[in-house]
Chains A and B, each alone.
Chain A
């Protein structure tokens, strides 16, 4: 049986003690154990940043690639081996900033992966510059007079672009987050989970400030109600509605037709095309009538 201990690594953790990233780590391990997934059945993909170090702290396959490029790498992994549970865990700067274009097109492609955004509204690893989710007016270590542009609305953007599972979690609520992660990972198609993860070193507000403003999404919310879901996604200024905002059954996932053709197998298990097939194609270049 898989327990949370199976996911332990002995890699030295570089996060600040007390950082809510630890909450995401615990919630993820718990979720994977509850889903009964063995570490070798999981591939964690990240970019660069504090958040992006998470894969080193959870035993699993790891692709810790370039800043901003976790999404395309995860798509490649998923196509090449659909049997793996491919989960992206990276920061708001990484996924919404440097890699924003990839995320936008990932919504359209709808690969069967889960994307967990550690949204601390700051570039933490590079010591406190504004991120795409930093609120307007907030002073940072680079925008000394305050950020002068509005934050990106990626959850609403996701819904508009056909993402079929969109949720917001809170790193300070491990139980609740694990529940959302479990639903997201089980969801067929791309699941986007933005996790509010206050940075206790560079952030302007302490965890308690966020905790006071966390509200569960209304009990009567119908997650298939697109307009309401967009409203809840945008409504994260003075309070943060937490839970699954939007969930509808997904249509075909990315590369489904190719997978059908090759029998849904990992690509490294496929036999080579046989020589005569290629030779016959090469001979078709010989011009005869």
Chain B
């Protein structure tokens, strides 16, 4: 069984609620769901969709066509009509002129009649969807009861009544076309987005401070901390992104594990602060949730356009790590790792996500913390009689004390500085030593960076190379190509910088698959590793890369 369901409508009409309720119905019934959201940067109107992909084995990758399309209004019905399979089913409140496989459900009038208010139109729609996919009404009833429990019995009753009306209306309209009841499976799944998982991982890693300025698609990160005070993380909405990163660096210098989160435009404002972190050797984790640029670009869409920017942002030369997770579980692992690397190398670490990872929910068996969460790496003040913050060492990493640890004074300086942290212009000895120290740290950091994961590479004649959020789509493309007998494999990078030297896979033609127009990762593989890359399958229309998109460009 595999189903793809598009719930479509205007901003403010409640498609998120409908999508979420139906997703939860499938999940409690034992089916994994993958959902993506696609919407315009507006509060009311426009066209938006929630897309559910339901299967027996989790398929955590986007699908672009629907076998069931629910349209809350005629504009959405027309806008998304092309996405519906020719034999797919349309549920809408009006009847399209061209007929087709269609069920008419008057969402609003059923809502007022059975729920008492128009707002229950969402419940009517969820009821109609459940009828159309063969989910028993009892499942929907239970999901509604738990979803609305906090709002009181009357709300639950009205929702259930409206849902029942939608369920019955669609059921009788379907008549003989109604599907058989979907059997219950004995399975359960964690259903979450990467951005929902990251704050918990950060708290587990000891993060105590976040300052950020709202910007889609990163805003959910700081909000998760203000919503859940139990996480014990101080969260401040800064006056701008420059303040955000400098506050976090102040906190980090005083011993708090600190982070910030932003998107491209805000990250651009942070560039000087990133350089400062490199210079004063103060740990910080920066989450960069990408969206298409340049400038304001497409605020609510997805892209992988900021890879080279993340690697290069900040003037001067200093070490940094750039990590890009592909799903919520990997996001947890890389978040913990980001804090650890930032702390051990005393340098900025950038977590590269995107709107797709922010807003898509994956089904995974469970979300787990890494087996070991490294402790903080502050030095012990009793180890020193005289303390120098940038004392020379073989690895370039100096023991770090925070302000106020013991009775030492700790001096950090954004100017070039002596080992004691004081401003210097000694170009003969101090400056060369300081440059070498920072680059020595990069050398050690590089040796820790993990190689890509690989899939079916042994006999591959063509290799698809991806990074970050595209992993699921590429894996699906490889599966489908293999089933057609084509010898295709995949390499996927989660740790992008500093790239350690790595031999190219032998005998295969190499293509990168990326959410940008210029093949940024291909450029990196060529320039850093000397790989010869045939070309790039790039997407830059603001939508996530999906398997079909790859297949069409492979033929």
Query: Could you mark each residue 237-273 of chain B with 1 if its beta carbon is under 8 Å from any beta carbon of chain A, else 0?
Result: 0111011101111111111101000000000000011
- A272–B206 touching, CB < 8 Å: yes
- A262–B232 touching, CB < 8 Å: yes
Q: Which of A66-74, A188-196, A227-235 contacts B (4 or more CB under 8 A)?
A: A66-74
Contact of B367 among A45, A80, A285 (CB under 8 A): A285
| Contact flag A40-B408 (CB < 8 Å), given A79-B251, A101-B239 | yes
- Across the two chains, which residue of chain A brings its CB closest to B328? A285
Query: Could you mark each residue 182-194 of chain B with 1 if its beta carbon is under 8 Å from any beta carbon of chain A, else 0?
Result: 0000001111100
Contacts of B210-250 to chain A: CB distance below 8 A: 211, 228-232, 234, 236, 238-240, 242-244, 246-250
A209 at the interface (CB under 8 A from B): no
- B209–A80 touching, CB < 8 Å: yes
Query: Could you mark each residue 126-147 of chain B with 1 if its beta carbon is under 8 Å from any beta carbon of chain A, else 0?
Result: 0000000000000000110110
| Contact flag A43-B403 (CB < 8 Å), given A101-B239, A288-B188 | yes
Give A59 Cβ to nearest chain B Cβ, in Å. 6
- A282–B197 touching, CB < 8 Å: yes
- Across the two chains, which residue of chain A brings its CB closest to B199? A281
- List chain B residues, Cβ under 8 A from A73: 246-247, 249-250, 253
Give A280 Cβ to nearest chain B Cβ, in Å. 10
B351 at the interface (CB under 8 A from A): no
| Contact flag A278-B200 (CB < 8 Å), given A75-B247, A80-B251, A258-B234 | yes
- List chain A residues, Cβ under 8 A from B408: 40
- List chain A residues, Cβ under 8 A from B407: 38, 40
| Alpha-carbon gap, A74 to B251, bound state (A) | 8
| Alpha-carbon gap, A41 to B228, bound state (A) | 32
| Contact flag A66-B272 (CB < 8 Å), given A77-B403, A270-B208 | yes
Query: Could you mark each residue 1-40 of chain A with 1 if its beta carbon is under 8 Å from any beta carbon of chain B, else 0?
Result: 0000000010100100000000000000000000000111
- List chain A residues, Cβ under 8 A from B258: 76, 80
Give B232 Cβ to nearest chain A Cβ, in Å. 6
| Alpha-carbon gap, A14 to B255, bound state (A) | 30
- B423–A64 touching, CB < 8 Å: yes
Query: Could you mark each residue 72-104 of chain A with 1 if its beta carbon is under 8 Å from any beta carbon of chain B, else 0?
Result: 111111111101100000000000000001101
A289 at the interface (CB under 8 A from B): yes
A45, A81, A84: most-surrounded residue (chain B CB, <10 A): A81
Give A136 Cβ to nearest chain B Cβ, in Å. 28
- Across the two chains, which residue of chain B brings its CB closest to A69? B246
A266 at the interface (CB under 8 A from B): yes
- List chain B residues, Cβ under 8 A from A40: 404, 406-409
| Alpha-carbon gap, A279 to B145, bound state (A) | 26
The interface on chain B, measured as residues whose beta carbon lies within 8 A of the other chain's beta carbons, has a size of: 76
- Across the two chains, which residue of chain A brings its CB closest to B420? A11
- A255–B234 touching, CB < 8 Å: yes
Contact of B404 among A9, A43, A53, A281 (CB under 8 A): A43
| Contact flag A289-B146 (CB < 8 Å), given A62-B409, A84-B404 | yes
A220 at the interface (CB under 8 A from B): no
The interface on chain A, measured as residues whose beta carbon lies within 8 A of the other chain's beta carbons, has a size of: 62
| Alpha-carbon gap, A10 to B317, bound state (A) | 29
- A287–B189 touching, CB < 8 Å: yes
B525 at the interface (CB under 8 A from A): no
| Alpha-carbon gap, A287 to B256, bound state (A) | 34
A63 at the interface (CB under 8 A from B): yes
- List chain B residues, Cβ under 8 A from A237: none
| Contact flag A76-B255 (CB < 8 Å), given A61-B409, A62-B409, A268-B378 | no
Contact of B410 among A61, A66, A267, A278 (CB under 8 A): A61
Give B384 Cβ to nearest chain A Cβ, in Å. 12
| Contact flag A267-B239 (CB < 8 Å), given A65-B280, A261-B229, A278-B203 | no
| Alpha-carbon gap, A48 to B376, bound state (A) | 31
- Across the two chains, which residue of chain B brings its CB closest to A282? B367
- A79–B242 touching, CB < 8 Å: no
A121 at the interface (CB under 8 A from B): no
- Across the two chains, which residue of chain A brings its CB closest to B244? A72
Contact of A76 among B24, B240, B251 (CB under 8 A): B251
| Contact flag A64-B413 (CB < 8 Å), given A76-B248, A105-B239 | yes
- A66–B254 touching, CB < 8 Å: no
- List chain A residues, Cβ under 8 A from B143: 289
- B188–A287 touching, CB < 8 Å: yes
- A79–B209 touching, CB < 8 Å: yes
A273 at the interface (CB under 8 A from B): yes
Contact of A53 among B197, B230, B423 (CB under 8 A): B423
Give B491 Cβ to nearest chain A Cβ, in Å. 29
| Contact flag A80-B368 (CB < 8 Å), given A40-B406, A288-B188 | no
- List chain A residues, Cβ under 8 A from B172: none
| Alpha-carbon gap, A63 to B282, bound state (A) | 11
| Alpha-carbon gap, A64 to B414, bound state (A) | 6
- A74–B250 touching, CB < 8 Å: yes
- List chain B residues, Cβ under 8 A from A81: 254-255, 402-404
A56 at the interface (CB under 8 A from B): yes
- A266–B421 touching, CB < 8 Å: no
A283 at the interface (CB under 8 A from B): yes
| Alpha-carbon gap, A267 to B253, bound state (A) | 11
- B411–A61 touching, CB < 8 Å: yes
| Alpha-carbon gap, A75 to B246, bound state (A) | 9
- B242–A72 touching, CB < 8 Å: yes
| Contact flag A66-B246 (CB < 8 Å), given A43-B254, A275-B373, A285-B192 | yes
B495 at the interface (CB under 8 A from A): no
- B251–A48 touching, CB < 8 Å: no
- B369–A282 touching, CB < 8 Å: yes
- List chain B residues, Cβ under 8 A from A281: 200, 228
Contact of B423 among A39, A56, A69, A277 (CB under 8 A): A56
| Alpha-carbon gap, A14 to B146, bound state (A) | 68
| Alpha-carbon gap, A112 to B130, bound state (A) | 57
- List chain A residues, Cβ under 8 A from B499: none
Contact of B276 among A11, A45, A66, A273 (CB under 8 A): A66
Give A275 Cβ to nearest chain B Cβ, in Å. 6
Contact of A267 among B236, B251, B373 (CB under 8 A): B251
A61, A258, A281: most-surrounded residue (chain B CB, <10 A): A61
Contacts of B405-452 to chain A: CB distance below 8 A: 405-415, 421-423
Additional A-B contact list (14), CB under 8 Å, known A77-B250, A261-B232? A69-B246, A72-B238, A80-B258, A81-B402, A102-B242, A258-B234, A267-B208, A272-B206, A273-B206, A278-B369, A286-B191, A288-B188, A289-B142, A289-B143
Could you jot down 6 A-B contacts, CB within 8 Å? A45-B250, A48-B414, A61-B409, A64-B413, A65-B412, A76-B253
7 shortest interchain CB distances as A-B pairs: A76-B250, A268-B255, A80-B254, A76-B251, A73-B250, A287-B27, A267-B256
* Residues of B that sit less than 8 Å from A by CB: 24, 27-28, 142-143, 145-146, 188-192, 196-197, 200-201, 203-204, 206, 208-209, 211, 228-232, 234, 236, 238-240, 242-244, 246-256, 258, 272-273, 276, 280, 332, 366-369, 373, 376, 378, 402-415, 421-423
